[in-house]
Structure 1
């Protein structure tokens, strides 16, 4: 395969920029231990989440010249187990007329011993980035899963289909194989700004035929569907979407943009998905553009961007921004997706602590437990209490804490970061029922993040938080007596480290 020198030179220049800033990034106390982030500078959407030669590959939107969003490259990490990841060289750089202003989001698939990535080439045609843009779908190929060449036939999808489909907002292709053929869903909007997803079909990944508008907004699902992902799971067809511009409904949809799924049945003859209601995948502050794979064990695994557009990012002052969620396993129960951390994260556990049947009334602080990178499992029996919860990353001296509070009268669990330290504030709530008067939580705390899995995956709440290094306390509170039936805590080891952008292992 002939190496494209222009593309390679753009990658090498970006690598030099990153190398010059790795040291400053690695010294930041908010630097995450077990979440994927860049070696330096900006990260957003996960891309190309795939398996290739029995390893896991994850790419991501990356600006290698600043901690702000800019012309997009594709960063790259790989793993053997979805827990320990190593950094690889940048995979894609904007270098051609069709992607001059960014290699936007896309996906990857293994075919005939090669790894193919299908991505959006973006070109600005004027000063208004909402109206003055040209987006096409492009293909790059790799023999080793590390070095990619863009094909000569690019773009493989030259323009959006005619009709009521918006001609410019046409991005984020997700490809999969069904039978002997390949299918692809692309994010889109109508000319009157209603979000929708377009379905394409191909025999060879090169020549694509538009089939139909797969699904579209009912008028309440935003003006643009970004980062669609389609898969079949436990007898259900699932279309994941990230709708922009949904209006808040009571306590829901409070983030700038949302991420969730619609469920139904895809007719592969007509290209139509007949679907039911939209469901959120995460009720916290920071979760966007999720992408999934079927892993080597047959599970459906999801990773998303652990951030939100236009949100304050204090880590930018130390030359990095953004991270990924931990990988999450998806299953279906009672026609809804359950979301749980993958079991492999147990590999990171050490220094186990366990308590049973602890009575709390008022406030109880575990003075002997403090950490900034850990996992908690807790089962709380509410008894007669109406309000109870816990505080993590707590320091009374600094007046810092991240609050989880359950309100039984409203059946709501609140995640509150008004006192979480630096960075954005606010509260989010999730509708949560008690089972046998019990609340089950599994919580992952990292240096600057929290992910809360509720009642065995019925709901999840994720957020970036930026506490002081000294804010390491854990306490529980209640208005009346509650019982901590089980409280387990493990420190979690580091699994992501600053590695070599030349492709050597970071472990």
Structure 2
């Protein structure tokens, strides 16, 4: 269809108002859990990664932002950028609602570079049907904006209108170029309330034609597939999505909504042929809405959002809420994906200390660090030579006994992240599967002020969870629990983490 300019509000005024909202919240922001090594908004609420790309010599990460409160609402696009994926700069807020189709929010989307060298954003314009909330569903359409510098955007209006008034969810476009043709996928809840991903195609980036439903979730209770992504990896194609309505089963899908992927094959003009089971991107408490993008060096990277929707959410009282995961490299590992911190992340390591090898007697514990807000921990456990039932680290341990335990649990034969001793926030545990055949376990654990990421055996499994320590110094303690004998740890190192921000106090 033709692009229609539908501007009804002054975009510059809306952006200025949003910047003022963030500044006002920032004045009273508390930093007890504010991240040092993860992307978060200066203040306000942050959710989905948007528009991830490399453009004009910088990496750009946009994100859903409420600049007026530390709860979800009033969706804008915040923006940070980096030359090296390590040190990040805060950029001006990129987009605010400014015309009728996006009256109630500039929702999620993606970025591509046009053939004439411009940055093109595709995103969802959002309105409430009843003008107030989701009680009667959404009115959503796919929109387009263009930028010469990645900072300032000109909106060009709706390019993919919703084709059926019975569709209540129609959002989150991901766009890429395939040969000489542009492709777009986004999530849909069909009139029958089935979660699907639809594909459109275009020759000119403006006029889009429906191709086909490229994927339908097999579970009829899954009514929407948010933030879909589709990308090649080696000789396969990956479709990922965030499933709404998926029921828990055993250790799987324990969160409110769950982000995962399937692997298969696809050729343009044909159907996607699924070859793997559904796998979670991350086994932790807080992971949602991942988006991938390609680096100039050929790597596929992914950012996820550490979703804090489970009550209580203690960050809400601190003037900010939500953060990204670390950027992770994605590679194919048989019928699932391996994700691990980008290789550049180690540049943030400071004051690295070696502690291994260590042997602990059964039920012995040992304090390694007496006060640690941040840590990059690398640890190996000799499973074949250990008899303790639980071997791991108590992190964020404070004087009142609060801590989060990351350990190998021999009864479960899984790696466990256990928050049952925390005063603040949601508790409970999550457990990642483990193949014991190698006889050893490698863990890399990234500890920030209010979060923990655990990478199992070079990222074959990952767990990302918030962990909100109580007041006081935060110890790191090595523990061995129960069983018939000792715990054997051949190597263990701990480094502090430097800040990712060009201007640390911002």
Instruction: State the TM-score bracket (shorter-chain normalisation).
Output: over 0.9
What count of residue pairs does the alignment treat as equivalent? 494
Task: Tell me, in whole angstroms, the C-alpha distance in 1 between the residues paired with 2:398 and 2:118.
Answer: 55
Partners of 1:320 and 1:225 in 2: how far apart?
27
Give the secondary-structure state (helix, strand or coil) at the position aligned to 1:10: helix
CA drift at 1:368: 4.8
Aligned to 2:256: 256
Question: Are residues 496 and 307 of structure 1, via their aligned partners in 2, closer, same or farther at CA, if it must alter by over 3 Å?
Answer: farther
Partner in structure 2 of residue 129 of structure 1: 134
Aligned to 2:466: 464
Task: Report whether the alignment pairs 1:69 with 2:72.
Answer: yes
Contact 1:394 1:474 in 2 (8 A): no
Q: Taking structure 1 as reference, are residues 224 and 413 closer, same or farther at Cα in structure 2, changes over 3 Å only? A: same
Distance 1:75 1:488, change over 3 A: same
Find the aligned partners of 2:21 and 2:137 in 1 and give their Cα distance: 29
How far apart in 1 are the matches of 2:9 and 2:73?
23
What is the rounded CA distance, in whole Å, between the counterparts of 1:396 and 1:42 in structure 2? 27
8 Å contact kept, 1:370–1:474: no
Query: What SS does the corresponding residue of 2:258 show, helix, strand or coil?
Result: coil
Match of 1:412 in 2: 414
Deviation at 1:123, TM superposition (A): 0.8
Q: Conserved in 2, the CA contact under 8 Å of 1:100 and 1:123?
A: yes
Equivalents in 1 of 2:142, 2:341: separation in Å? 32
| Residue 399 (structure 1) aligns with | 401
**How far apart are the structure 2 equivalents of 1:220 and 1:409?**
34
Is contact 1:214-1:273 (8 Å) kept?
no
Partner of 2:83: 80
Unaligned segments of structure 2, at least 5 residues: none
Gaps of 5+ in 1: 500-505
Match of 2:144 in 1: 139
Q: How does 1:207-246 map to 2 (within 5 A)?
A: 207-219=207-219, 222-246=222-246
Residue 134 of structure 2 aligns to a residue whose secondary structure is coil
Structure 1 length normalisation: TM-score? 0.93
Q: Which residue of 1 aligns with 2:185?
A: 185
Cα distance in 2 for partners of 1:168, 1:396 equals 47
For 2:8 and 2:418, how far apart are their aligned partners in 1? 50
Select which of 43, 46, 52 maps to 1:40: 43
Query: SS at 2:81's partner residue?
Result: strand
TM-score normalised by L of structure 2 = 0.93
Displacement over 6 Å in runs of 4+: none
- Offset from partner CA, 1:295-342 (integer Å, 9 cap, x none): 121100000101243443211112110000000000112232101111
Give CA deviations for 1:370-407 in whole Å, capped at 9, x if unaligned: 31111000001122425122233344631111012322
1:92 aligns with 2:95: yes
CA distance in 2, matches of 1:378, 1:198: 43
Q: 1:292 to 1:130 in 2, by over 3 A?
A: farther
| 1:366 corresponds to | 367
| Partner SS for 1:347 | helix
Provide closer, same or farther for how the CA distance between residues 481 and 288 of structure 1 changes in structure 2, counting only shifts above 3 A: same
Tell me how far apart the structure 1 counterparts of residues 43 and 323 of structure 2 sit (CA, whole Å). Answer: 11
1:68 shift after superposition: 1.1
- String of CA shifts for 1:446-483, please: whole Å, max 9, x gaps: 00000000011110000011102422332222332121
Q: Is the 8 A contact 1:261 1:278 kept in 2?
A: yes
RMSD: 2.0
